[in-house]
Amino acid sequence: MNKLIYLCTLLLVFSCEKQKLPELPESNDPMFGVDGTIDGQSISISAGTDDYYMQSEEFEFNNVTQWKGNLTNSENQFEFILSDGIIDVPNSTFDLSDVDYIGLTEVPSQPLLQLSKDDLTNGEFIQSITWIVDGEAYSNQGPLVIFEPGEYTICAEVTFTDQTEASSCSDVILGYDKNAKGELKFIVGQNNRLLAFFDTPEYEIDHVEWYYNDSLISANKVNLSIEANTNTFDLKAIVHYSNGVVRERSVFVNKLVTTNFIQDLTAFENQSNVSWDFKLRMNIAFNGQHYTAIESTAQATQLEIISISQYGYNANGEQVLLIKGNLQAPFYHQESQSEVNANLTLSFALPYK
Amino acid sequence: MSEENKHIDELFRSAAAQSKAPDYNPSFWGEMEAMLNDSKKRRKGLLLWSSFGGVLMIGLVSALLLTLPSEIKYSQAHLHLEAERIESHSNNYKANFSSTTSSEISNEVVVDFKKQDVLPLEKASTPVNLTSPRVAAPENIASIESKIYSDATLNELPLLPNNLMNGLKSADLGTLIATKQLPVTGPLNVNIELGAGVSQAYNDSKTKPSIFQAMLKVDYKVKRFTLSSGLGLSVEQNPGITVSQRAQVFGFGVTDFEHSLNYKTLVDFIVPVQVAYQFGKNTFGIGAQARYLATSSMRFESKENGQTTMADNLNGITTGLNPFNIDTYGFYERSVSQKLSLGVRVNKQLTSRISNEEFFNNLERSKVINGQVYLKYTLFNH
């Protein structure tokens, strides 16, 4: 009997399965915030206090990837946007953690592209041009004007003076670095011989995919020499430069009326030196005042990086960097249309790839 | 007075009238001295043994429980007590019970002894066996000195060793003394207690806290005082303990995490040490007990920003509680029968169950009082 009691007791005690509590996350200090002054106003905010929340997302701006961190509540907003760079090199990578400074930029006040029929080499033979930008007709009268950096597909629907029509599309990079340059040029010679080539030998070309009316006719020649068997045709070259740049350049050719052509529009993408490659744009709305970062080229007015580290994943499942830095730079104060000084310590999130 | 006692009274009356005094054998006292010397050494051992903690003692007693044969044995301590009793009587009364008279007063037996007849005892050559019946001095061999023995005090009459009995002439035995087969009662009792009761809640709620307790105790009686210790198991249900652990994690915003532990059952091992005073059938006492929280069952709830993200019933977790606690208690017992007692106990915690290191709570009490009614059953005496 006594042994039975013992056994029952032991069974009672040890039969209780011991389970583990789920671990509770550790408390921490705010991760994202802005401290300092702007235009004499003291700022000290952080995500998680006063309803401030750090929103981060990746988005496309004129076909170029942007990464945004937005520290905001219902009243105020601190927006940080980093632009992609090296966009003419497919699948390029850039280790942001290696940088010590990130330059500030802004939407240019001067156009990055301004293009009319008169800018074309055969403009005198062109009656009108309808511009199609990224599939949408450019409605403004006059020249095509683009202020915002981006990679645009620009199509020119041309009506020549002889009332013939033609169109050609090119991918044009505006406001970002072009790491290889070169305009597709062509010559229609005797016996309908077509020569196509690039006029910038300083950028070494690895190979070119040549398309004749969208049909691949050559994949390994840099220059093209063929007999054109149609009176008009589209000639497209996908150029693979040795430095990794891949660009698409197109022309429209009329071998019978040689003046009725549409030249390579990428020739016009270098009208501005503006580069948003890995530049940061900042927009601040604080206490009813609005401030925008100003393009800065001097290191002293760039964001000095304290640290860049992996933070985690945002609500969209994107990996997020925690970027900490100091900034002493002028900002444009929209209400007074004047420059004001800002001295800020920033901790913000960017879902940089 | 019980039927058995009436029979003993009858025996005493007839024995006192008929029996003769036994012959004295001086060797008996020598044998008794040897036995006493041996028992003194064992008494030291017992004291040393008592100084160890309750756990150790209980372990050994429990082991004893498991290994002890069913028949009754006499411990050395018992031998010692009986020997002391005999010695005490021998110093006051003559063993050569020459002439006795007795008178019966109501249901009591009066036995007188002549002090001048006391003779010294000599050492016995054979070991003493105290399993012999308890012997009351017969009236024809003990001189009467107006000493009144009630039924209760019969238990205090000396036990005569078997060899002492054997020393008596067989002829005398027939006419000897009234004998009584008294229950053998030693200083050690092994009891089992089963109790149930109600408790204060740590936090006032609709749940009604209850407590159940089972305990194996060993009593050591010294006159009217009893020192007890043992090992028990306590099950406390619905104690009303809810402790929480919270974390504020900043990230893109802030997330308030909360783990809430609502204990439903607490199971403690308990080691009590108590002292009691017996007055007739009533026993009063106080004690203290160490508790070790062995296991529990609880309702676990995890919340993020106030929204429950996980809830589960968990076992075996004692987080947020102190594993060791000390209680104190007072109790009252009343014997219902020779082996069964009914008692009440009021228990007050001296230390708090709640650990405030990592978990916080809004409990209204950190120490509670509980009251229990319990039954105590004596498994055996030793």
Phi/psi at B27 (nearest 5 deg)? -65, -20
Q: Chain B residues with CB-CB distance to A under 8 A? A: 62, 65-66, 233, 245-255, 257, 259, 261, 267, 294-295, 297, 300, 302, 310, 314-317, 319
Question: Can you tell me the distance from the alpha carbon of A211 to that of A108, in angstroms, rounded to the nearest whole number?
Answer: 36
User: Chain A residues with CB inside 8 Å of B295's CB?
Assistant: 13, 16, 18
Q: What are the residue ranges spanned by the domains of chain A?
A: 33-105+276-350, 113-268
Measure the CA–CA gap between A53 and A43, rounded to whole angstroms: 16
On the CB side of B111, how many CA atoms lie within 13 Å of its CA?
Answer: 28
User: In B, which residues are within 8 Å of A24 by CB distance?
Assistant: 245-247, 257, 259
| Alpha-helix runs per DSSP H in chain B | 3-18, 27-51, 54-67, 76-92, 151-154, 162-167, 170-175
- Kindly tell me if the per-residue pLDDT of B29 is higher than 70: no
d(CA A196, CA A237): 9
Split at pLDDT 50, 70, 90, the class of B60 is: very low
Beta bridge partners of B198: B210, B371
Ordered per-residue pLDDT tens for chain A, 353 residues: 555 565 455 545 555 566 788 888 999 999 999 999 999 999 999 999 999 999 999 999 999 999 999 999 999 999 999 999 999 999 998 988 889 999 999 988 899 999 999 999 999 999 999 999 999 998 777 899 999 999 999 999 999 999 999 999 999 999 999 999 999 999 998 888 999 999 888 899 999 999 999 999 999 889 999 999 899 999 999 999 999 999 999 999 999 999 999 999 999 999 999 999 999 999 999 999 999 999 877 888 899 999 999 999 998 899 999 999 999 999 999 999 999 999 999 999 999 87
Backbone angles phi, psi at A147, to 5 degrees: -100, -35
The angle at the Cα of A234, spanning A232 to A240, to the nearest 5 degrees, equals 150
> Which domains does chain B possess?
3-180 (no CATH), 188-381 (2.40.160.20)
B245 contacts in A (CB within 8 Å)?
A: 24
Closest CA to A253 of A335, A311, A187, A342: A187
Q: Which residues of A touch B253 (CB under 8 A)?
A: 47-48, 52-54
* Residue closest to B289 by CA, chosen among B55, B34, B87, B8: B55
Got the DSSP string for B23-59? PP-THHHHHHHHHHHHHHHHHHHHHHHHHS-HHHHHH
From the list B246, B264, B215, the residue with the least C-alpha distance to B54 is B215
pLDDT band at B326 (very low <50, low <70, confident <90, very high): very high
pLDDT value for A345: 97
pLDDT tens per residue, range B265-291: 999 999 999 999 999 899 999 999 999
Confidence of residue B88 (pLDDT cuts 50, 70, 90): low
Q: Which residues does chain A have within 8 Å of residue B316's beta carbon, measured at their own beta carbons?
A: 16-19
CB B121 within 8 A of CB B96: no
Residue of A nearest to B68 (CA): A2
Per-residue pLDDT of B175-202, as tens digits, reads 444 444 555 577 888 999 999 999 988 8
Pairing of strands A280-286, A246-254: unpaired
Q: Nearest residue on chain B to A4, judged by CA atoms? A: B66
If you compute the radius of gyration of chain B from its CA atoms, what whole number of angstroms results? 30
The residue of chain A with its CA nearest to that of B256 is A27
pLDDT band at B317 (very low <50, low <70, confident <90, very high): confident
